[in-house]
Structure 1
Amino acid sequence: MRVSPRLPLALALALVGCVPGILDPIISGGISGEASESGPPQMSSTDSDGTIGDPGETCTTCESATEAVFIVLPDLGETCTTCDGDTEAVFVVPPGPPPACDVYAQDCPSGFKCTAEGPPPLDSESITCSPIVAEPDQAGEPCQVLVEGHLGPDTCDIGLVCGDVDPQTSIGTCAVMCQGSASEPLCAAGEECWGYEIPLCVPHCDPLLQDCPAGESCQYAGVDFICLKVDVANQVFEGCGGDWRCAPGLSCADGDVAAECVIGVEGPGCCSPYCDLSGPSCPGVGQQCRAYYEPGEAPPGLENVGVCALP
């Protein structure tokens, strides 16, 4: 029976004040909101004959010294607001956020891509249709997050997201997002779909070879092994809370895999070495190389993968 790994857990109302003689800018991508039911009614400006004006070229004039006008802008066209009185305030409610989109299907309007925007943490509210920049960066190319400290927008093309971003420079590399659907994700041959809100196609690796870039470890990802960043490189028999907290070559297995395990604040698991069933060698007293997969379930090329554990 396969030793159970400790799996990793996946990666306002905008009020634009208006004072006499000042036109405040309306910023694309602002946070949406609307007046409460008990508050002043929302109004669209009208022409002199009482008909609704063109929402792309709306101008509202406040004539009363205490008048407050709520304007709901259906788009970000050439809308202006003029305040003539001494104390009136104009509240501009920007348009709502783009409709929810599907990162697998990339179902945003032309010129947009479905990706993550806004500040961390990454969750379902972060996913939105974001404009694609002119001459966008392609897969594997350097990219930039355009708002410091945010998840996006970025300079990558549709179907890509700027990953491994340096927090100091906002520079990263364009990574490929999975296609298909959440139930049937699609990636290129030799790749695995990994992630939740922003699922990425990441290369397979061999836990016995640990053929990942520096700072990453080849770890189990639900079906196959992929390269994951090492959070804390705990050593053999040290406690752990997930594979990403063990040094390369070690699996965060159940805490009873070795008599030498020291379980502490790091978590309930224990870092124990991967081993080769065809030439087993384990460091713990009484440990054996036990098959990582159930018989017949190992992906091609991983039939000999095991982990050191007590019988």
Structure 2
Amino acid sequence: MRVSTRFLFVLALFGCDPGVLDPILTGGGSGGSMSGPASTTTTDPTPDSTGTASDGSTGAISGDSGSTCTTCDDPTGAVFVVPPGPPAACDVYAQDCESGFKCSAEGPPPLDSESIVCSSIVAEPDQAGESCQQLVLGHLGPDTCDVGLFCDHADPQTGTGTCAVMCQGSSSQPLCDSASACFGYHEIPLCVPHCDPLLPSCPAGDTCQYAGVDFVCLGVSDLPANQLFEGCGGDWQCAPGLNCVDEDAAVECIGGGDGPGCCSPYCALDNPACPGVGQQCRPYYDPGEAPVGLENVGVCALP
């Protein structure tokens, strides 16, 4: 359980924010990052059927794009059935396309199972971490990345992005290296790097955000990001070094804006320093719950 002053973002994680990811935490869109925004909650994530959570345990946090409502209530009181989408043409985890092709996304957004096809691999494809190109501007793909990679963080004006590693294994047991966690964005699960909010080292356009157990680099929803004490609706709206807490965490919090929360800094428990009047550096995690290496993480809030 995290510090109780953190803003409650359960609604954003569990189905009320279009475009929110389906994080699949493990140990080992069209423009912008596919690995962007995560959410924060003051309660432990609830497992569902989409994957594994928190370094190998079962369960996942699902955004609205990862769940299917089969019997939904209409505001009038009527109940209707939403059929599931058709299956994807290939398996992005298994990369089961024939030689010369990769399982990836093509076509215009929004991304859904019908976007997943066997896409031709270009000659001399780009590798992980290298610059890449979406071959059809404004489309999800095809792109110039090699098999098992996806052109992420694509600039909507130029189609230029960076080759990101797709998760391997399966949706029930996704695999990434020990420095990354698997985040599934609809049908494209990507390995995103772990990070330390006190020593942020995320790529441009990403911030170090809490994601179920520890922190990973995820995209900021809108740039420029919100600054100190500005309103927010989630960590993904705050600038690096800040997280979204309850608006009563600082007397300086600016009401309104992008949500009922307030962007307040992370702080080091062994060297506490907070900018707000009366703020204290409070532990981010309850005693004994911090992952290894994150025991010193705190958040600035009023007592």
Same fold by TM-score, threshold 0.5 exceeded?
Answer: yes
Please tell me the root mean square deviation across aligned C-alpha atoms, in Å: 2.3
2:259 is the counterpart of 1:267: yes
Q: Tell whether 2:174 aligns with 1:185.
A: yes
Matching of residues 23-172 of structure 1 within 5 Å: 100-172=89-161
Change (3 A) 1:239 1:141: same
Unaligned regions of 5+ residues in structure 2, if any?
A: 14-19, 22-28, 30-85
C-alpha distance 242-100 of structure 1, shift in aligned 2 (>3 A): same
Q: 1:226 aligns with which of 206, 216, 221?
A: 216
Residue 30 of structure 1 aligns with which residue? none
Kept in 2: contact 1:194–1:221 (CA 8 A): no
Structure 1 spans left out of the alignment, 5+ residues: 12-96
What SS is found at the alignment partner of 1:236? coil
Cα separation, partners in 2 of 1:98 and 1:181, compared to 1, 3 Å: closer
Residues 2 and 294 in structure 1, CA contact (< 8 A), matched pair in contact too: yes
The answer to whether 1:302 aligns with 2:294 is: yes
Q: Does 1:248 align with 2:240?
A: yes
Distance 1:254 1:100 in 2: 44
Q: In the TM superposition, what whole-angstrom CA distance separates every residue of 1:51-70 from its partner, at most 9, and x where no partner exists?
A: xxxxxxxxxxxxxxxxxxxx
SS of residue in 1 equivalent to 2:299: strand
More deviation in 176-185 or 213-222? 213-222
Offset at residue 98 of structure 1 (A): 9.1
1:254 and 1:102 map into 2 onto residues whose CA distance is: 41
Identity of aligned residues (%): 75
Identify the residue that residue 272 of structure 2 maps to in structure 1.
280
Q: Which runs of 4+ in 1 moved over 6 A?
A: none
| Aligned 8 A contact 1:178 1:193 in 2 | yes
Rounded Cα–Cα distance in structure 1 between residues aligned with 2:238 and 2:251:
18
**Residues 258, 285 of structure 1: 8 Å contact kept:** yes
User: Taking CA–CA contacts closer than 8 Å with sequence separation of 6 or more, which of the two structures ends up with the larger relative contact order?
Assistant: 2
Superposed CA offset, 1:21-42 (max 9, x none): xxxxxxxxxxxxxxxxxxxxxx
Aligned residue-pair number: 226
- The code of the aligned residue for 1:302 comes to L
* Higher alpha-carbon Rg: 1
Q: Does 125-134 or 1-10 show the bigger shift?
A: 1-10
Secondary structure of the corresponding residue to residue 139 of structure 2: coil
Tell me, in whole angstroms, the C-alpha distance in 1 between the residues paired with 2:245 and 2:90.
37
Structure 1 stretch 211-220 or stretch 186-195: which is displaced more? Answer: 211-220
